[in-house]
Amino acid sequence: MESQQDYEQTFSFEFFPPKTPEGADKLRKVRDELAKLNPLYFSVTFGAGGSTQQGTIDTVLEIQQSGSNAAPHLSCIGSTKESIRELLNKYKDNGIKRIVALRGDMPSGMQETGEFRYANELVEFIRSETGSHFHIEVAAYPEFHPQARDAETDLANFKRKVDAGADSALTQYFYNIDAYVRFVEDCEALGIKIPIVPGIMPITNYKQLARFSDMCGAEIPRWIRKRLEGFGDDITSLRAFGLDVTAELCDELLDIGAPGLHFYTMNQTGPTLEIWKELGL
């Protein structure tokens, strides 16, 4: 973890684009509350293959106009170079300086007809089109990407994104701190020198978390899973336990020199704010 300690610790919050006017109103309030914590930026997810893309653009521009820094996620699977170029120009023209560059996943039933296969190709394209204008974040997987052939290949593929010009990385969420430490050390051994910021998923809803985790390959350790199952409908106890576990994880991460935290807010203030308060940040 030595190289990570050289970086300033940064904090950021992730949103998804709201689907309804009520959701948009609620998100404005959440954003205003979280903006008081002075994050480096708010990022907004992007649906691969067409879904919710306009929502991402609208949300990002609104955040930027409100005076905070916005970072759009941009996934490339199923896209043409021309469509990505248009988006990059739009963001550049609106003062956006940071992009989270991803491959994304094709929605089921859609054909993969785009001009990009992997995120490293997107990073390369952004650099060739816009030089050093954007700070490029990429995704990292301490417990490995679900489609990875093996751990070593996945690390080599992560390095491709860094070699293509990524400035920093945000991890998939994890609850095994050892997986993150080992991942960072393996990256150091490969000569990767960028901040690898842990992604933090607050625990508020067991069924939802279990579903997400099955999809994205993040492990909920057995002892946490068993406790969460045991709470049943007792949401108050579940949330208190979830807060305890995630705040302790964050505390340890910052202690060992993680270069900040990126919170998956799920468009809610409470869970992130509670962890923040526990950390005394």
Active-site residue list: 14
| Closer residue to ligand FAD (CB): 68 or 75 | 75
- Closest distance of CB 132 from ligand FAD, Å: 21
Distances (CA, A) of 31 to 71, 225, 230: 14, 30, 33
Stretch that binds ligand FAD, among 19-27, 102-110, 182-190, 225-233 (CB under 6 A): 102-110
Binding piece for ligand FAD, criterion CB under 6 A, among 142-150, 182-190, 206-214, 243-251: 142-150
**Cβ closest to ligand FAD, residue 47 vs residue 271:** 47
What is the sign of the dihedral through the CA atoms of 251, 256, 261 and 266? negative
Binding window for ligand FAD (CB under 6 A); candidates: 24-32, 126-134, 143-151, 182-190: 143-151
Does 9 interact with ligand FAD (rule: CB under 6 A)? Answer: no
53, 168, 172, 246: which one contacts ligand FAD (CB under 6 A)?
Answer: 172
Residue list 192-221, contact with ligand FAD (CB under 6 A): 199
Instruction: Count other C-beta atoms under 10 Å from residue 104's C-beta.
Output: 22
Q: Are 100 and 87 in contact (CB under 8 A)?
A: no
User: Of 81, 159, 160, 225, which lies in the binding site for ligand FAD, with binding defined by CB under 6 A?
Assistant: 160
Give yes or no for residue 168 binding ligand FAD (CB under 6 A).
no
Q: What DSSP assignment string belongs to 182-214?
A: HHHHHHHHTT--S-EEEEE-----HHHHHHHHH
Give the burial string for 76-93 (b: 16+ CB within 10 Å, else e). Answer: bbbbebeebeebbeebee
